[in-house]
Amino acid sequence: MMTNNRIVVPAYQRAYAWETPAEGMSRATQTDVFLSDLEAYRNSNTRSPYYFGHFLFEETQGEFRVIDGQQRLTTISLFLAALFTCLQNKRALTEDEQDCYKDLIKRDSCIRFKTVDYDNQVFVDYVINQSRKDVPVLQTTSAQRLIKAFDYFKKKLGSQPEAYLTDMLRIVAQASCSTHPVRDEAEAIQMFIFQNNRGKRPSNLEVVKAQFMYAIHLHGENQQQKDSLIGEIQNRFETIYKSISAIEYRINEDDVLQYALRVHFNSLWESGALDRVEKMLAGQQPLEFVRAFTDSLAISFEHLSVFFGDDERKSFPIHSVVTLGGIAMVLPFILKAYRFGLPLSDKNRLCVAFESLIIRHRLIGTRAEITSRINEVYEVFTSEAPSIAPILEQIEYLKTTDDWWWAYWNNERLAEALEGEISHPTARHLLWKYEVHLEGHGQRGYEPRRYSDIKRPELEHIAPKTEPAVRPHGYDTYDETFRGEYLNCLGNYLLLSKSHNCAVGNVPFANKLATYHRNAQQREIASFVSEGGVWGRDSIQARHEKIVAALMAAL
């Protein structure tokens, strides 16, 4: 399959997506399963060749473009490149091994396998030619995966004896596979979409990209127009994938696709990205939609990379709402704010208002949906009327109104919710906000403490959930009322680091109190303790009321 051929990953294909085990990771990943399968074959008594599976190709102008099997082929190339490197570190390659290298990896300047355009230079420099030893700074997430997989294979193979390496080379070089080529690019893209809508699917974003490429082939008036549009789509998606590399662990790419649709069609009711895209491509002007939406999508990814990057680092309100998480309702508004060129101060005000609304919705737990209450102000938030005032007024109305259809998230409901048991993630966020309130109270120019400044924050029960066996322990009587009404409330919760939480454990109150000096809310615990040194109902209630008062003012 590879000898004397040139195999490339076409533009409509997904980039390299296989994961490699990180240090301390216990779960299996695709690359270590790939290696362990080869090792299991090596240790077996079978005489049949190792089978790499089935591959689909589009054959065109002396190249074979991968339709299905790209992840396996990329991994095979990474593995072989690492294998030849490790073998050459032990001794010179034999003539047969040199021929094998030329057949499977590179003959003169002809590289057998080429990955997607935006990752290929990294692949060539770091993996094939190994002219770069440093890890490139500006790279996509898929390029990072290429580098990690190659380094992983080099590390694993480098520690093995020569016999192991030659066995592995023989197994891969003599492995079998089945192939099927097609000769029409439109058919190839259609097969890609079909293949990847069965079994393990790619992301919706990757499917949409393939659908766009297919639409260009179907509806392009001539080859010149097709080539121009394809080049434009490739450039847009290169921008998109570079943005994804910056925000991948902050937000899901398919969620961004959904938010971009809500911006593009100016409605929060947009859902089902693939259905909407298919409907537009079946309409009267599919290519106009492809061009306009790809541009809009790239801009959305760029703006979110700034929002989750530089702006989150320098803006406390943005940091706060990002830390809260679950912010799907605010991001279409934020994307519009960036698109309309609004100042950071306006984006901050939006984040403050929406953080309050999201927290209320999360605490109150109502089944009432918010979309119908805010979609109208979303739709009138346009480039012709880019004021955020109607949005802020609407959220303020939701926080203060007594009208039955709107009052699910008002101050009265919030106060009620703060009296009940609160989930630990939400309680951690609220106590962090309380910490910011305590540390900044009365201090001019105070720089708020970021959530990330707390090392692995956890929620501590001051009076532990399980009564300590040691007596006297310094806590109230563990009767039904104390357990039901006081143990799981904000007044008995404390924010501290994981190491601190592990250190205090289920110990008497006096021992805990001696360690409470690492932040403002810990230090103030002593002021709530009764004269007898007991942490009981009165102490918890007094602290609870103070925390609630601060949160009601902030939210």
- Secondary element (H or E) of residue 150: helix 141-158
Helices (H), 371-419: 371-379, 389-400, 411-418
Do 460 and 496 touch, CB atoms closer than 8 A?
yes
Pairing of strands 106-107, 110-111: antiparallel
How far out from the chain centre does Cα 238 lie? 18
Say which residues have a Cβ less than 8 Å from residue 82's Cβ, sequence separation at least 6: 150, 153, 154, 157
Enter the tokens of residue 375.
Answer: 């979609």
Look-up of token digits 């830390």: 323
Q: 482-503 in b/e burial notation, b at 16+ Cβ within 10 A?
A: beeebbbbbbbbbbbbeebbee
Distance of CA 61 to the CA centre of its chain: 38
pLDDT at 201: 63
What length does the chain have? 555
d(CA 166, CA 84): 9
**What is the distance between the alpha carbons of residues 328 and 517, in angstroms, rounded to a whole number?**
37
Are the beta carbons of 394 and 510 closer than 8 angstroms?
A: no
Rounded to an integer, what distance in angstroms lies between the CA atom of residue 58 and that of residue 430?
A: 56
Q: Which residue has the tokens 């501590």?
A: 460
First-to-last alpha carbon distance for the chain, in angstroms, is 63
- So what's the pLDDT on residue 41? 92
Contact 93, 101 (CB under 8 A): yes
How far apart are alpha carbons 458 and 22 in whole angstroms?
24
By the 10 Å C-beta count (0-12 exposed, 13-18 middle, 19+ buried), 457 is classed as: buried
Per-residue burial over 389-426, b = 16 or more CB atoms within 10 Å of its CB, e = otherwise: eebbebbeebbeeeeeebbbbbeebbeebbeeebeeeb
Q: Which of 291, 308, 552 minimizes the C-alpha distance to 434?
A: 552
Radius of gyration of the chain (CA): 29
Report d(CA 196, CA 212) in Å as an integer: 15
Q: Peptide bond preceding 472: is omega within 30 degrees of 0, i.e. cis?
A: yes
The pLDDT value recorded for residue 241 is 80
Question: Quick one: pLDDT at residue 196?
Answer: 56
Distance CA 244, CA 520 (A): 38
pLDDT of residue 231: 85
Task: Write down the residue that tokens 């997506």 correspond to.
Answer: 17
Tell me the pLDDT of the chain (555 aa) as tens digits. 888 889 999 876 778 889 998 877 778 889 999 999 999 999 998 888 999 988 889 888 778 988 888 899 999 999 999 999 999 999 999 999 999 999 999 988 899 999 988 889 999 999 999 988 887 776 778 888 999 999 999 999 999 999 999 999 999 999 999 988 887 777 777 776 666 544 346 788 988 988 898 888 888 888 888 888 988 888 888 788 878 877 767 888 899 999 999 999 999 999 999 999 999 999 999 999 999 999 999 999 999 999 999 999 999 999 999 999 999 999 999 999 999 999 999 999 999 999 999 999 999 988 899 999 999 999 999 999 999 999 999 999 999 999 999 999 999 999 999 998 899 999 999 999 999 999 887 555 567 888 888 888 889 999 999 999 888 999 999 999 999 999 999 999 999 888 887 777 788 999 999 999 988 999 999 999 987 889 999 999 999 999 999 999 999
CA atoms of 263 and 410, how far apart (whole Å): 28
Q: Which of 174, 185, 247, 267 is nearest to 220 (CA)?
A: 185
- Residue 95 burial by Cβ neighbours in a 10 Å radius (0-12, 13-18, 19+): exposed
Task: Give the pLDDT of residue 149.
Answer: 96
